[in-house]
């Protein structure tokens, strides 16, 4: 047995941070996750878009400082139709199941038995995909655009795309706060004494 | 009695997660993921139970070709890290509890059946889309990948469209 390579240790360490802060945010709770779709608790949107904006702006800053070479970061390849259909099926699964894969792992380890069942379903669903792959291979490879970004697709500079997403997120956060305030009802746990 | 601490401010937690993701970009050269480890586990299971079957399958070969062990990959270790980090956070906050989370009107058995079904859909969909909310929506979202944004917007669209039909599970 050789020891773990440096990159595996690194992945383990980053995973610890990822799991820790997902749990801190409350995203190990299916009821809280599902509340996103009933507009009663928009933590999913807020956490996700704050993380996206932080990494996006951070990358731009590190790149400007010459610390990170953006060209060396692996950009996922785009396949429009399979990712559109995949997103639609995933969205149905998310609101029905209540966890996504990462948050399912968080829920599982904090004792949520429903999360264990959801993750078991994910194992089964991945198995079904692999078994059906001969039938799906053509669609899986359909409509390839390669590794392409939104600013490249629209034909604007990268920094303009970054600013647009930051502005979109800012507007989204303001809207999310307004929507949540509308839904605030006194719950037994946080009622003030009369 | 264990006192459950309240959850962190979502924006603060989001910044922390964003910094984890940024670190991954800077030092690993790629983002983070989750569903890939689930697929690796399935590939390893099939490889162990029926090696000839796994080798004959064009999709499993992505994980097993050249005698590789599907579990010997960064994403598997990252997900092991997720387990550890989430456990530490839940333990520190007094949030470790053996429960079935469900809406006030949902039955436990119902919740488990729907949960499994939802999991099957997400397991399948994450393979079709080449990633999930972590590897596509979060990672690809921060890189402004076209396919990742298509995937993310489709999740929200379908989630909101179907939510009224499963309201009994959650509210």
For B38, name the nearest residue in chain A, comparing CA atoms only. A123
E strand residue ranges, A71-121:
78-79
**Cβ–Cβ gap A50/B29 under 8 Å:** no
Both tokens of residue B56? 């004959």
**How many distinct helices (H) and strands (E) make up chain A?**
8, 2
**Preferred mutation among A3, A8, A20 to probe B, highest tally of B CBs within 10 A:** A20
Task: Write out residues 39-68 of A within 8 Å (CB-CB) of B.
Answer: 40, 43, 46-56, 58-59, 62, 67-68
**b/e sequence B61-70, b meaning 16+ C-beta within 10 Å:** bebbeeeeeb
**Cβ–Cβ gap A73/B86 under 8 Å:** no
Predicted local distance difference test score (pLDDT) of residue A185? 54
pLDDT, tens digit, 9 for 90 and up, residues A75-107 = 999 999 999 999 999 999 999 999 999 999 999
**Cβ–Cβ gap B126/A86 under 8 Å:** yes
**Cβ–Cβ gap A161/B144 under 8 Å:** yes
**Cβ–Cβ gap A125/B29 under 8 Å:** no
Predicted local distance difference test score (pLDDT) of residue B5? 87
Tell me how far apart the alpha carbons of residues A119 and A76 are, in angstroms, rounded to a whole number. 24
Stretches in chain A below the pLDDT threshold 70: 1-3, 184-194
ipTM over 0.90: yes
Q: Which residue has the tokens 């937690």?
A: B13
- Average pLDDT for consecutive 10-residue bins of chain B (171 residues)? 83 98 97 97 95 92 87 96 98 96 95 98 98 98 98 98 97 92
Predicted local distance difference test score (pLDDT) of residue A51? 98
Predicted local distance difference test score (pLDDT) of residue A192? 44
Contact residues on chain B for A176, CB-CB shorter than 8 A: none
Predicted local distance difference test score (pLDDT) of residue A99? 98
Number of inter-chain CB pairs under 8 A, A vs B: 501
Predicted local distance difference test score (pLDDT) of residue A2? 52
Predicted local distance difference test score (pLDDT) of residue A5? 87
Tell me how far apart the alpha carbons of residues B122 and A94 are, in angstroms, rounded to a whole number. 7
Both tokens of residue A166? 């930051």
**Cβ–Cβ gap A68/B59 under 8 Å:** no
**Cβ–Cβ gap A38/B135 under 8 Å:** no
Predicted local distance difference test score (pLDDT) of residue B67? 83
């Amino acid at each position: 047995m050789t020891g773990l390579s440096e990159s595996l240790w690194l992945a383990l360490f980053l995973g610890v941070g990822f799991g820790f802060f997902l749990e801190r945010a409350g995203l190990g709770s299916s009821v809280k996750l599902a509340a996103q779709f009933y507009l009663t608790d928009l933590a999913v949107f807020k956490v996700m878009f704050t993380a996206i904006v932080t990494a996006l702006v951070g990358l731009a800053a590190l790149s400007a400082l010459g610390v990170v070479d953006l060209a060396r970061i692996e950009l996922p390849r785009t396949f429009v139709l399979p990712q559109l259909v995949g997103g639609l099926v995933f969205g149905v699964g998310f609101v029905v199941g209540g966890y996504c894969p990462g948050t399912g792992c968080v829920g599982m380890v904090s004792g949520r038995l429903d999360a264990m069942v959801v993750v078991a379903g994910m194992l089964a669903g991945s198995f079904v995909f692999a078994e059906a792959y001969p039938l799906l291979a053509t669609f899986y490879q359909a409509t390839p655009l390669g590794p392409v970004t939104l600013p490249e697709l629209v034909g604007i500079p990268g920094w303009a795309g970054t600013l647009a997403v930051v502005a979109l997120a800012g507007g989204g956060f303001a809207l999310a706060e307004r929507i949540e305030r509308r839904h605030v009802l006194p719950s037994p746990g946080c009622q003030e004494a009369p | 009695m264990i006192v459950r601490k309240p959850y962190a401010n979502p924006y603060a937690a989001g910044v922390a997660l964003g910094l984890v993701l940024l670190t991954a970009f800077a030092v690993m050269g790629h983002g983070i993921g989750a569903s890939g480890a689930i697929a690796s586990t399935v590939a390893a299971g099939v490889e162990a139970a029926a090696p000839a079957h796994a080798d004959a399958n064009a999709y499993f070969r992505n994980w097993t070709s050249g005698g590789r062990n599907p579990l010997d990959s960064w994403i598997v270790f990252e997900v092991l890290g997720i387990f550890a980090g989430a456990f530490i956070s839940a333990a520190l906050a007094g949030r470790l509890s053996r429960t079935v989370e469900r809406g006030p009107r949902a039955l436990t058995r119902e919740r488990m059946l729907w949960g499994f079904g939802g999991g099957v859909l997400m397991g399948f969909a994450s393979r079709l889309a080449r990633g999930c909310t972590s590897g596509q929506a979060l990672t690809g979202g921060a890189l402004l990948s076209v396919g990742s944004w298509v995937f993310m917007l489709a999740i929200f669209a379908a989630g909101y469209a179907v939510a009224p039909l499963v309201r009994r599970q959650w509210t």
